[in-house]
Structure 1
Amino acid sequence: MALTKKGEFWYGTTSGDTQAELRSYSIANGHEAVRFATSKCACGCRTFALQTDEEAGVAIRTCSDCGQEHLMGDSAGHLEGAAPETHGCVCENEVFELVSGVAVHAGTHEVRWYYIACHCVECNLVGVFADWPCEAGDAAAFLAEV
């Protein structure tokens, strides 16, 4: 399914739709995401609750199947003083498929900006729920931790 706009929100059904919305958002933000990764728990589950603190640069995903918490990207280095808040959809659901994207510094593979897009498993809303400037080093290594 392609992205469909209903009112002020976008809806889609695939991780490709979520990635397309993330890319569009990142272009409008002035830091285009060029590398992407979909979150997957060690248990195999692909749906999560999401908590973030954009000011601190912290994201935590909690598996909807096994309950395991995972610090995303380089969040472990920014936990002190962070106050992550749980994200919810406009339909009040709090379980999402997550796609992360990063913008990199020109001519490098070094992370410049981090985006987290969510796809609601209940209503199919897609959107970027969190983003922040991020100097996290190599994009591949960073995205391996989302």
Structure 2
Amino acid sequence: MHEEPTPAGFSKRGATFDDLAAFLQQPDPGGYPVQAVRECVCRSCGGRSFEVALMEEERAARRTCLTCGESEFIADSEEYWDDDTEVDHYCACSCGGEEFAGAVGYSLREDGDVRWVFVGLRCLACGGLGIYEDWKISYGPSAFLLDRA
């Protein structure tokens, strides 16, 4: 079992992608609004259950499909991921679950470019919802990141 702190706001529960999307779109006082949410779906097999690894210093996330074992980076994480560095941690729910359904929330600029990325996960064991990582996108064009959930 991996050790991982519980994300803020974890008292919410859900059972579907729509529940996770609604959670990601709740306004955060002083934060950026989320205008678009995309479900994490494995490009190889269509799977929707994942183990998620984070590299916090680099602000990067990688999901591994529990059906086929294929790993994919979320948003622009590939540019910042360091294969020579140990993964900071794997996401874990307060219930101990380490298997998740995922979605990415995007805050957009007026021109449609991505301003901020939020990695939301729903624990497959208990339904707990949380935002496990987020980071700013400081470049453009960046609308292509909407296809990298």
* Superposed pair shares fold, TM > 0.5: yes
Match of 1:90, as an amino acid?
S
Query: Identity of aligned pairs, percent?
Result: 27
Gaps of 5+ in 2: 1-8
TM-score, length-scaled by structure 2: 0.83
Provide the residue aligned with 1:132 in structure 2. 135
Alpha-carbon distance in structure 2 between the residues aligned to 1:131 and 1:60: 13
| Alpha-carbon spacing, 1:31–1:92, altered in 2? closer, same or farther (3 Å) | same
| Alpha-carbon spacing, 1:16–1:110, altered in 2? closer, same or farther (3 Å) | same
CA RMSD of the aligned region, Å? 2.0
Alpha-carbon distance in structure 2 between the residues aligned to 1:132 and 1:56: 9
Residue 100 of structure 1 pairs with residue 117 of structure 2: no
Alpha-carbon distance in structure 1 between the residues aligned to 2:148 and 2:130: 21
Provide the residue aligned with 1:28 in structure 2. 29
TM-score, length-scaled by structure 1: 0.84
Pick one of 89, 93, 113 that aligns with 1:89.
93
Alpha-carbon distance in structure 1 between the residues aligned to 2:35 and 2:124: 25
Deviation at 1:29, TM superposition (A): 4.9
Deviation at 1:8, TM superposition (A): 6.2
Greater strand share, 1 or 2? 1
Helix, strand or coil for the counterpart of 1:109?
coil
Give a deviation string over 1:71-114, Cα, whole Å, max 9, x none.
11111111248644200001111110001011112x21111111
Give a deviation string over 1:107-139, Cα, whole Å, max 9, x none.
211111110110111101111111111235333
Pick one of 118, 122, 125 that aligns with 1:122.
125
- Name the count of aligned residue pairs: 137
Deviation at 1:10, TM superposition (A): 0.4
Provide the residue aligned with 2:68 in structure 1. 66
**Contact 1:54–1:131 (8 Å) recurs in 2:** no
| Alpha-carbon spacing, 1:121–1:29, altered in 2? closer, same or farther (3 Å) | farther
Greater helix share, 1 or 2? 1
